[in-house]
Amino acid sequence: MSDSGIQLIVGLGNPGAQYAGTRHNAGYFLVDRVAERSGAELRPEAKFYGLMGRVNHPEGDLRLLKPTTFMNHSGRSVAAVCRYFDIEPSRVLIAYDELDLPVGTVKLKQGGGHAGHNGMRDSIAALGSADFWRLRIGIGHPGSKEQVIGYVLSHPSRADTEAIEDAINDAESCVPEMLAGEYQRVMNRLHSRP
């Protein structure tokens, strides 16, 4: 693994059957896909407030995390893992749902604000840094601010589900490059998706 590659992938979401498959859990979808493809098992870890897994890649070990603190307190889980394993924020990738991107779009970037996303707001505060990588998974916008909460906590249509799954599959296929610190290559690939 390069000395700038990703060591931890965090997927933001809400735990519980009532939230499974909702738009707000797009980050969970990515971690589930990485675990599934790599054969990693996600297990409850009380000290990390979430489900943790480990992937042995040729490029190096990768840890996977799904906080189970509920979205608004995701940072507690992210910070606990980073402290315990001594992982710098710049080597963390947080995947989450993005209202401001069209459904099925996926964008990689480093740093920035929280753009009103409570999981990101809490993660930035808990880490004391915004210098981590973000994988923004487009879920589209319902059209008005008043509809946002109901929209993100509802299930996407079949067509939207397929578009989001395609985006997640493409992002998952870029994990080796992210482990190697080849972020520009990943951005070129993901940002040029049709």
- Enumerate the known binding-site residues for tRNA: 19, 70, 72, 118
73 tagged catalytic: no
Bridge partners (DSSP) of residue 45 are: 50
Contact between residue 173 and residue 165 where contact means Cβ atoms under 8 Å apart: no
CA 3 to CA 99: how far, in whole Å?
A: 32
Sign of CA dihedral 110, 34, 45, 23: positive
Residue 59: CB atoms within 10 A of its CB come to: 18
Q: Name the catalytic one among 24, 73, 117, 141.
A: 24
Bridge partners (DSSP) of residue 9 are: 64, 93
Which residues fall in the annotated binding site? 19, 70, 72, 118
Please list the active-site residues.
24
